[in-house]
């Protein structure tokens, strides 16, 4: 079911083909006025031979009906605002600050895969990071993604080398949903070396692109793509990112949308983690070290609450203050009488003897011929 008219959908197909992803001059107008009105205005401008020659040529070369038919043959569908499958959370991009002259709600998204776009983004986290990932970074990203997947949360990333690849593979290994957002057409694979990965994601998850089928990746399209990754997610995790990194751009989009930004620290000497550390230092990101901590940050309040890590409780932890004081005064090797122990502990002799009996029953001290010492298997710390 869809509340979008056929004319509006066709108009948005044309705009998707002739426009550049994330161009706010287009996305803002379409969000405010609708695709049909914007396309009609562009057709009027195209009638000006001097100002609209290039535009007229692009409009004439685009047949939206053929575009949809060609996409359908490639198992690609065009999802637009107003469709049942359209995630309302993407509309938040209308109010987010524009970055690098990119912004706004996508005119539409080309989707390849059986997974519905709204279902994929209902509980989703972006896991992004450096293309030049270290073994440490890839392992952590894969582990976080697998934990999210086992909790039935989708993992959204960009299908690039490094952290993106590890995130997708971690989710797939846990048999969970994953979404690859591309800077090229949904019918293409970039990088080319990830064709099998992207095709597999299309089989079991979802491949998404704001760029029309057949489009090549460009630098500006990567920047536009980052806002879609952030818009489809309830929060973003950055695992390894240099000071200049596209992953930091995704984090900025998530922050601008008011969604949790999380960062995994690395060695302080690691250049691939320098941008991550800056996010944490500037308090722009929450430090996380596991998928469980990510779920605690993005999940409903109280659902994934974690306890602070603690060492297992020992016998010593259960002692009263006086008993711990006496235990600290008992020698480790050379046994001593109770009077000597009382003086070392700074307690009355009678109270010291009472405490020694408690410690003896607990197996923490040994007693022989009126003298006491710490039991051999007792850890003095």
Residue 380 has pLDDT above 60, yes or no: no
Going from the C-alpha of 175 to that of each of 149, 150, 196, 204, 275, the distances in angstroms are 7, 8, 17, 9, 31
Q: How high is the pLDDT of residue 339?
A: 93
Lowest mean pLDDT among 132-136, 184-188, 310-314: 310-314
* Six-digit token string for 235: 């929060």
Residues 244-256, mean pLDDT to the nearest whole number:
93
188-207 confidence digits (pLDDT tens): 999 999 999 999 999 999 99
Domains of the chain and CATH, by start: 70-298 (3.40.50.450), 316-374 (1.10.10.10)
Q: Among residues of the chain, what percentage have pLDDT more than 70?
A: 94
Give the mean pLDDT of 46-67: 75
Indicate whether 378 pLDDT > 90. no
Give the model's confidence band at 372: pLDDT under 50 very low, under 70 low, under 90 confident, else very high: very high
pLDDT for residue 40 is more than 60? yes
Taking residues 96-110, what's their average pLDDT?
A: 95
Model confidence pLDDT, tens digit, residues 309-349 = 667 777 787 899 999 999 999 998 889 999 999 999 999 99
Greater confidence (301 vs 15) lies with: 15
Least confident of 173-187, 276-290, 356-370: 356-370
Whether the bond between 191 and the residue before it is cis, its omega within 30 degrees of 0, is: yes
Q: What is the pLDDT of residues 264-301, one digit of tens each?
A: 999 999 999 999 999 999 999 999 999 999 999 998 76
Residue 51: pLDDT above 60? no
Structure tokens at 210: 């704001």
Buried b (16+ CB within 10 A) or exposed e, 235-269: bbbbbbbbeebbbbbbbbbbbbbebbbbbbbbeee
Tokens coding 142: 């894969």
Digit-coded pLDDT (tens) for 228-240:
999 999 999 999 9
- Mean confidence (pLDDT) of the chain: 92
Q: Is the Cα dihedral 125, 129, 131, 132 positive or negative?
A: negative
Neighbours of 193 (CB within 10 A): 10
Q: Is pLDDT above 80 for 74?
A: yes
Predicted pLDDT of residue 239 = 97
pLDDT at 381: 46
pLDDT at 53: 57
Q: Which pLDDT does position 38 carry in this prediction?
A: 93
Of 218-227, 293-302, 357-366, which gets the smallest average pLDDT? Answer: 293-302
pLDDT confidence of residue 300: 78
């Amino acid at each position: 079911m869809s509340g979008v008219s056929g004319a509006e959908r066709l108009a948005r197909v044309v705009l998707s083909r002739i426009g550049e992803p994330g161009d706010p001059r287009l996305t803002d107008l379409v969000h405010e006025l609708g695709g049909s009105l914007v396309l009609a205005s562009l057709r009027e401008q195209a009638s000006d031979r001097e100002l609209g020659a290039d535009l007229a040529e692009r409009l004439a070369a685009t047949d939206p009906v053929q575009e949809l038919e060609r996409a359908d043959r490639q198992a690609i569908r065009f999802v637009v605002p107003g469709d049942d499958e359209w995630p309302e959370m993407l509309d938040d991009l209308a109010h987010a600050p524009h970055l690098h002259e990119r912004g706004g709600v996508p005119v539409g998204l080309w989707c390849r895969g059986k997974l519905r776009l709204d279902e994929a983004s209902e509980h989703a986290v972006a896991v992004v990071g450096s293309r030049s990932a270290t073994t440490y970074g890839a392992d952590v990203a894969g582990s976080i993604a697998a934990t999210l997947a086992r909790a039935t949360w989708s993992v959204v990333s960009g299908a690039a080398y490094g952290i993106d690849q590890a995130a997708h593979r971690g989710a797939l290994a846990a048999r969970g949903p994953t979404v690859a957002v591309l800077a090229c057409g949904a019918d293409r694979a970039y990088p080319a070396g990830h064709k099998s990965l992207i095709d597999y994601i299309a089989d079991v998850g979802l491949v998404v692109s704001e760029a029309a089928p057949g489009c090549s990746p460009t630098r500006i399209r990567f920047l536009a793509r980052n806002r879609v990754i952030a818009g489809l997610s309830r929060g973003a995790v950055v695992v390894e990112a240099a000071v200049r990194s596209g992953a930091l751009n995704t984090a900025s989009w998530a922050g601008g949308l008011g969604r949790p930004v999380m960062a995994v620290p690395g060695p302080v000497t690691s250049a691939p983690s320098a941008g991550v550390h800056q996010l944490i230092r500037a308090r722009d990101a929450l430090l996380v070290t596991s998928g469980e901590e990510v779920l605690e940050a993005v999940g409903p309040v109280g659902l994934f609450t974690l306890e602070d890590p603690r060492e297992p409780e020992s016998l010593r932890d259960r002692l009263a203050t006086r008993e711990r004081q006496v235990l600290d005064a008992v020698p480790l090797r050379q046994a001593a009488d109770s009077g000597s122990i009382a003086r070392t502990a700074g307690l009355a002799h009678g109270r010291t003897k009472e405490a020694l009996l408690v410690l003896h029953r607990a197996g923490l001290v040994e007693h022989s011929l009126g003298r006491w010492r710490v039991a051999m298997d007792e850890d003095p710390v």
